[in-house]
Amino acid sequence: MSSVNIQDLDNFNAFHEVWDETESCSGSLQGMTIAIKDNIVTKEGTTTCGSKMLKGYKSPFNATVVDRLICAGATLVGKTNCDEFAMGSSTEHCAWGPVLNPWDKTRVPGGSSGGSAVAVAARMCNAALGSDTGGSIRQPAALCGIVGFKPTYGTVSRYGLVAFASSLDQIGTFTQSVNDTAKIMHVIAGHDEFDSTSNPEPLPDFLGNLNTPIDNLRIGVPSQYRGDQNDPAINTAITAAIETYKNIGATIVDIDLPLTDVGVSTYYVLAPAEASSNLARYDGIRYGHRTSEKCKDLIELYAKSRAEGFGAEVKRRIMLGTYVLSSGYYDAYYNNALKIRRLICEEYKEAFSKCDVILGPTTPTVAFKIGEKTDPVSMYMNDVYTANTNIAGICGISIPCGFSEEHGTPLPIGLHLQAQWHDDVKLLRIAQMFESSTMFHKQSPECCS
């Protein structure tokens, strides 16, 4: 379990003792074991967001998704490690140490929800919850060979999710199959009066037609998603996935998403800007770590507390966000990023007028070595195919579609499918069509086979 860094092992029994006494175990998730990312609050155990800033923090309430899982009879097994405040693409940026990929423990599991992905991939639990701000569920799901689902923004309540970038954050699921994804979504989705951004529309039926294929299915394949920027094994796996869909009756449509290349740049203006605002509360007075050093004034107390509590990646994004929001640069950076966000939404609308889903790779590479990417920009490029999903607020899923054999050990490859706003159920049905025609989701690392 050390490769997952599940927090507070001593509190596992406390989870069961407290929750089993107060909640019914007769729900639809009876017998399902689920882990919770460490940035989703729970009354039992601690919620640290992988940061020294919140070391030992105990929440006085459960997140809405946690209460809904409990009411459905799920067994919650603990909290999983993550990049600090969910800022990262590798789960190396953690106060409690990096998480190891179970397919090759010298490699990263992806991030920021790497602990949740590994817990499911290594069969330590049936499923896990994570958060996805720019690909933080789908990317680790791809690198760990499991199913990772990011719902349409507002489909699942964010009440109790520690905020990173509020207009981009979305709670989603890690599972071993699309069917399990639908089961959990049927429980955690739906309007929540405690979250003003949650969708007030009636909850769709995630399970009713899951195994019914989509007639006249049109799959869009952007030219921007296939090229030399991808590992050759990934392009091969995506080509094979396209052939699988053709064989089950889908029509392949060539489409263009020219703003793909500017998505990462847009994301790394919008997300740090919101983060700099959301993380301002951690000042050593109201929330979080307070320095033990003697300070001459309040400003010095703030500075030392934040310097000690935050890690390097969080500091980098706070400074970047503060910069783009400053009076001299707001129009040049943040305001322009908002304009590009609107254009990305329009681009997706145009694409979805031609197809039901958009298909491509989840990541441009397979899992890389721990410590290999020291340049922040090269790390950020891992989100090139996933960031625009969050910018637009549409739904996306990563499902296993193959393996790369070029690195001495099989490394999973993820197929990324995106559907338009509130087409979550259709997206799961289309993912199920592929999963029913392949066996990639049945394969597991040697550690648990």
By annotation, the residues acting in catalysis are 37, 112, 136
d(CA 126, CA 159): 24
Extract the tokens encoding 23: 């909640």
230 closest CA partner among 80, 387, 364, 419:
364
**Phi/psi at 85 (5° precision):** 50, 30
SS3 content of the chain, % helix, strand, coil (to 5): 40, 15, 45
**What crossing angle do the helices spanning 178-188 and 64-71 adopt, rounded to 10°?**
110
Alpha carbon 83 to chain centroid, angstroms? 11
Extract the tokens encoding 233: 């094994």
| b (16+ CB within 10 A) / e for 183-206 | bbbbbbbbebeebeebbeeeebeb
Note whether 357 and 424 are within 8 A (CB).
no
Note whether 314 and 85 are within 8 A (CB).
yes
Q: Among the residues of 72-164, which ranges form H helices?
A: 114-121, 138-144
Neighbouring CB atoms inside 10 A of 281's CB total: 11
142 closest CA partner among 304, 372, 361:
361
- Listing DSSP states for 382-410 in one string gives GGTTTHHHHHHT-EEEEEEEEEE-TTSS-
